[in-house]
Amino acid sequence: MSSFTGAVAAANHVDESELLDVEIDSDDRTVIDGNPTYSTEWEGGNASNVQSLNDGPYNQRLILELNITSSDAGQQEIILNYSESEEIGIKPDNVSVGSGPLSGQSDTIIRTAEQEVAIQFDSGDVSAKSATQNLTIDWIAPGELPETDEIISHEITLKNTTDDDYYRFTNVGLTGIHHNDSKYKSGDTVSSITYSRNGDNGAFRVWGGQTLTVQAENNSKVVSIREFETTSGGEIILGDIVDRMGTVPGPTANFEIADDLNSTKERVVQIEDPTNIIPLQFQPLNLETNWSTDKIESDDSLVLDVNSADLTGTDINATIFDSNQTVVNTTTTSLNASGDASIAYTPDRDLNGPGNTRQ
């Protein structure tokens, strides 16, 4: 009896199809939104290893290593879970099957649902093989994206096997610095360093409280912000590291410049080559906001007054939250030559009526 049972088990054994590996193409591992206000050598989406949402959908190629067995016959599904992308407002607009065992299969069906894409195929129509399957996904952002810099994962499943890979989403800050902005080296002798907002001379002036986006030339680099000083003879000497961040898996990273600077400070950015440096001069923004009143009737006008040390006409975003931390209004305006701006609201129209709000 035991021999017979074993024989039946062996006869019914089926080698299941497997997902062996998932990889996002190395040129599609970073997507950005927005452009810096201040930059000189910034490439953004013009670089081969950075995709941009500024001009519409961006294409991302996924490379799947599959083992599809003919003995595991019937309908099967490759499931892509994109829930982390959806959390920040990025969704698939189109999915296409590229080269690989599923290419040209007339019965392959692609379904897009909330937080997942399913690619359905009949394994009986696919030769038993271990092969590379390419997928191309066009991603869009229907709404406003958060001001964030984070790593986002795709999880893909076939049968009982799952693998994942990740990309980076970077919402570009006020100032964009590129590897090619470097015109100084540690140990150089200089008579002076000329700072400007755009960094025309390889040295940037940045505000406290702003976001600084750094773009390396290659993927997965380490960017450091360091202290430095010049000796009496003008030699640039590097000091301690005050902040450090990796750009994994792409070439970009955001730095939040401290907004509590008590005086002007100077630092340098190191990207890729540790001898190449980009000097930074930090300046306090002294940003203040005040409401015209703290309690009004629903049809009254409410004014938000903004004061700052920025006299260059920079655009600013004023975001209003309710007591549940939900955004109820975002308005963009420009600072005037005195560093001031005023934004008028009608609560019924602009702030969802009665309740508690905060900027």
Tell me the C-alpha distance between 95 and 262, whole Å. Answer: 52
- The average pLDDT across 240-265 equals 84
Residue 109 has pLDDT above 80, yes or no: yes
Amino acid at 282: F
Query: 357 pLDDT exceeds 80?
Result: no
**Tokens matching residue 166:** 């990740």
102 touches 96 (CB < 8 A): no
Backbone angles phi, psi at 26, to 5 degrees: -60, -25
- pLDDT per residue over 49-74, tens digit each? 999 998 889 999 999 999 988 677 78
- Stretch among 103-107, 164-168, 205-209 having the lowest mean pLDDT: 103-107
pLDDT score recorded for residue 3: 40
Q: If you average pLDDT over residues 254-258, what whole number do you get?
A: 90
Provide the mean pLDDT of the chain: 87
Range 71-81 average pLDDT: 86
The string of pLDDT tens digits covering residues 266-286 is 899 999 778 899 999 988 888
φ/ψ bin of 10: left (φ > 0), alpha (ψ from -120 to 50), beta (otherwise)? alpha
Confidence of residue 8 (pLDDT cuts 50, 70, 90): very low
Cα R_g (the chain), whole angstroms: 27
Q: For 336-350, how does the pLDDT look when each residue is reduced to its tens digit (9 = 90+)?
A: 999 999 998 887 777
Q: What is residue 264's predicted lDDT score, i.e. its pLDDT?
A: 58
Residue-range domains of the chain with CATH: 12-170 (2.60.40.740), 175-283 (2.60.40), 288-358 (2.60.40)
d(CA 83, CA 152): 9
Residue 10: phi, psi to the nearest 5?
-65, -40
Q: How confident is the model at residue 312 (pLDDT cuts 50, 70, 90)?
A: confident
Q: What is the pLDDT of residues 170-220, one digit of tens each?
A: 999 999 999 999 999 999 999 999 999 999 999 999 998 899 999 999 999
Which pLDDT value is given to residue 354?
59
| CA angle (88, 89, 95) in 5-degree steps | 120
Is pLDDT of 35 > 60?
A: yes
With a pLDDT cut of 70, the percent of the chain lying above it is 90
Q: d(Cα 140, Cα 161) in Å, to the nearest integer?
A: 28
Mean pLDDT, residues 109-127 taken together? 86
DSSP result, 263-332:
S-EEEEEEESSTTEEEEEEEE----EEEES-S---TTS-EEEEEE-S--S--EEEEEEEETTS-EEEEEE
Residue 355: pLDDT band with limits 50, 70, 90: low
Question: In this structure, what token pair is assigned to residue 187?
Answer: 């140990």
- Does 260 score more than 90 pLDDT? no
Q: What is the mean pLDDT of residues 68-96?
A: 90
pLDDT score, position 287: 84
CA 199 – CA 206 distance, rounded (Å)? 10
Answer yes or no: is pLDDT of 253 > 70: yes
pLDDT at 32: 97
For residue 13, pLDDT beyond 80 = no
pLDDT, residue 6, reads: 39
Say if pTM beats, i.e. exceeds, 0.85: no
Could you tell me which residues come within 8 angstroms of residue 344 by beta carbon, excluding any fewer than 6 positions away? 301, 302, 303
Res 106: pLDDT: 72
Q: What is the DSSP string of 172-232?
A: --SEEEEGGG--EETT-B-S----BSS-TTS-EEEETT-EEEEE-SSSS-EEEEEEEEE-T
Helix (H) or strand (E) holding 2: helix 2-12
Residue 355, Ramachandran bin (φ over 0: left; ψ between -120 and 50: alpha; else beta): left
Q: What percent of the chain has pLDDT over 90?
A: 60
> How far is Cα 130 from Cα 66, in angstroms, rounded to an integer?
5
